[in-house]
Structure 1
Amino acid sequence: MGVQILADLYGVDPDAISEAERLFPIIEGAVKEGKLTKISSDYYQFQPKGASGIVLLAESHLSFHTWPEHGLVTLDIYTCGDPKSAEVAFAYILDRLKPTAVDTKRLKRGVSIKEEVKAIKPQHLLVP
């Protein structure tokens, strides 16, 4: 049903990730570059520094959190569509933030769904 990229970006320039307004064009650019469908977005500025943000996508979401004092960005890109879109968005962010190290996990989501399988409610949830 989709792919989810979870990544920790280390060694990122603290100035690049201290303010939401500096991250906004990078995250929004990643959405456009990946040809993802933006529904809405919200960014939050921590004081004195650091930011979080999320972009709600028709395909799912892209979110991040920053710790400038550690040069760390945690990133979550989940798309239920062409997996290449998530990879393109991820590459775009890496190219802009230039981390010195990246720890990445890729999850395939919904791989066990089969049309002939029907959900069965557990017995304790059935209403008489």
Structure 2
Amino acid sequence: MPEAFEFHVIGELRGVDESLLTDEAFVRDALVRSVVEAGLTLFDVYVHRRGEGVIGVAVIGESHVAVHTWPEHRIVTVEVSSCKDPESTWEVFALLREAFGAESYSAVDLRSGIALMESLKGAAGAVG
């Protein structure tokens, strides 16, 4: 049994070419490629231009991937959420980092559903 129900990577890509951060087609393609190459299940992608930047969300069978570009700061914020495994969330993040050609990045790894998993383990032990 996994140690959590859902795995998250939340991060920031810095030093990105401004022209990529205003290109809706590029953002859509980066989302699609990162999800597919990481072996996740792509349901749909929504990309919208907002002000100078672009917001993109990939709805995946395992949860979602979201990006928000900030061309005036050369930054992309990224949120990857998956119930599959922690490796696939990091793989999507790495693929997005590569696609955007980030000069630097920062990211954190979060896990949710830990208390619920402990509860289920306890219940399984009580029954078995």
> TM-score scaled to structure 2, two decimals?
0.84
| Matching of residue 29 in structure 1 with residue 33 in structure 2 | yes
| Matching of residue 83 in structure 1 with residue 86 in structure 2 | yes
SS of 2:34's equivalent in the other structure is helix
Residue 12 (structure 1) aligns with: 16
Larger Rg: 1
Residue 53 (structure 1) aligns with: 56
- Richer in helix (by share): 2
Residue 40 (structure 1) aligns with: 44
Query: In structure 1, what residue type is equivalent to 2:112?
Result: R
Say how many residue pairs are matched.
116
Aligned-residue Cα RMSD (Å) equals 1.4
Identity %: 25
Aligned-pair CA distance for 1:91 = 1.1
Distance in 2 (CA, whole Å) between partners of 1:105 and 1:88 is 13
Query: In structure 1, what residue type is equivalent to 2:34?
Result: A
Query: In structure 2, what residue type is equivalent to 1:12?
Result: V
Query: In structure 2, what residue type is equivalent to 1:78?
Result: S
Structure 2 unpaired stretches of 5+? 124-128
SS of 1:42's equivalent in the other structure is strand
Distance in 1 (CA, whole Å) between partners of 2:76 and 2:60 is 20
Distance in 2 (CA, whole Å) between partners of 1:19 and 1:46 is 11
- Runs of at least 4 residues off by over 6 Å: none
Aligned-pair CA distance for 1:51 = 0.3
Select between 107-116 and 52-61 the one with higher mean Cα deviation: 107-116
